[in-house]
Amino acid sequence: MQIEKLNIKYTPLSPEDRIKELYKDFNTILFTSSFGTTSAFLLHLFNKINPNQTIYFLDTTYHFNETLDYKKTVTDLLKLNVLDLKPESWKNNFTTQDKTWNSDPDLCCSINKVEPLDKIKNNFQVWVSGLMSSQNKHRGTLKIFEKKDGILKFYPLVDLKEQEAFDYIKKNNLPEHPLLKAGFHSVGCFHCTVAGKGRAGRWVNKSKTECGLHL
């Protein structure tokens, strides 16, 4: 089915119905989660529809301990099937010793996020992500489906506001990311994240706004 037809079909649907349709239209689905502040929303939706769906977590080795604790809490609560994707050890060690996140954050993200995902991406028809158009300028241009780097991407929450995700998390008694109360509305690697509204705390004082997975 062409992307234009997919977007026409899925746009009127609720996020939950979009996910139900996804399983009718596609057989191999790649679902990645950062276990960030809004992640429990999409994880819960998918878990209701297909509790056997594998969730891939990009373990850069630079996550906040609070994120790793949160990942365990949500995984145990929802009984998720989570697999960690890790960078090559020698490359990861290089970025640690070199502190590449300071001199070349794009390279750091490429080594620790993009490359591990690239190794499995071709095994799937469609890649699910929880991006929302309200999160930054680039994401504001997204539709439910787009073709990027040889794979179809699916954003079932693209036309929702972050507050809707937080409201859903609260309504369904899902755990809140522990760093949210500390002012972190978006959480990435600890070297490159500070407290801030929206994504304002990511890569402060740098032109970078995305890790490279979605650009």
> Looking at the annotation, which residues are catalytic?
211
Residue 111 near residue 92 (C-beta atoms within 8 A): yes
Residue 100 near residue 60 (C-beta atoms within 8 A): no
- Phi/psi of residue 86, nearest 5 degrees: -120, 150
Give the pairing type, strands 29-32 and 126-128. parallel
Q: Length of the chain, please?
A: 215
Residues 6+ apart with CB under 8 A from 137: 209
Q: How far apart are CA 196 and CA 206, in angstroms?
A: 15
